[in-house]
């Protein structure tokens, strides 16, 4: 007896007769079908479940710089993590942005021009000279290898004056103002 389980958004279910089954994956766009693990499943008379994994073989290069386009001045450190489309759920570990502004995600799923796969990312850290990109980064994986750009604005110089409250315009000679960031 053979069964075919349709997986939608990572889950599927089907009532099955007890027995030992060999499991193969026959369709999963952007994934290496022979990487399925495990490849066997035992059904008993009780309800059961099993987590299976597949490995994708796409590569995404995210380049983070001041223009969000090719040739911009890169940031020199930071990190980016794959997320859901809201940025609330993180998948896997954050990837480090190197000194050239590049974060490379290996083994990502991909599609083609007709059926691309959309992936989402969130920048979790940046270098001291740039502002963090605060929106969710959306990338269309329409080929096995994709390069995309993310804009990080440089931090802006802020200038302050400190004067005497009683004698208008009288500069305070030496002082230190501390600014503690309370909100993003």
Taking alpha carbons only, the member of 123, 116, 114 closest to residue 146 is 116
pLDDT of residue 38: 96
Residue 118 CB partners (closer than 8 Å, separation 6+): 85, 138, 139, 140, 141
pLDDT of 183 > 80? The answer is no
pLDDT of residue 184: 60
pLDDT tens digits, 6-47: 999 899 999 999 999 999 999 998 999 999 999 999 999 999
- The model's confidence at residue 162, banded by pLDDT at 50, 70 and 90, is very high
The rounded radius of gyration (Å) of the Cα atoms in the chain is: 25
The domains found in the chain, sorted by start residue, are 1-55 (no CATH), 58-151 (2.60.40.10)
């Amino acid at each position: 007896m053979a069964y075919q389980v349709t997986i939608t958004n990572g889950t599927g279910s089907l009532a099955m007769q007890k027995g030992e089954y060999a499991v193969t994956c026959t369709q999963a766009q952007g994934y290496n079908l022979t990487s399925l693990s495990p490849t066997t499943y035992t059904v008993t008379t009780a309800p059961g479940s099993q987590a299976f994994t597949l490995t994708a073989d796409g590569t995404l290069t995210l380049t983070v710089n001041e223009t969000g386009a090719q040739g911009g001045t890169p940031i020199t450190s930071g990190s980016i993590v794959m997320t859901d489309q809201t940025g609330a759920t993180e998948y896997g570990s954050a990837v480090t942005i190197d000194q050239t502004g590049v974060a490379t995600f290996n083994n990502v799923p991909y599609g083609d021009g007709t059926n691309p796969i959309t992936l989402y990312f969130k920048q979790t850290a940046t270098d001291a000279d740039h502002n963090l990109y605060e929106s969710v980064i959306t990338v269309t994986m329409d080929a096995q290898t994709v390069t995309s750009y993310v804009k990080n604005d440089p931090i802006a110089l802020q200038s302050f004056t400190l004067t005497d409250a009683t004698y208008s315009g009288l500069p305070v000679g030496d002082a230190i103002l501390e600014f503690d960031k309370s909100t993003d």
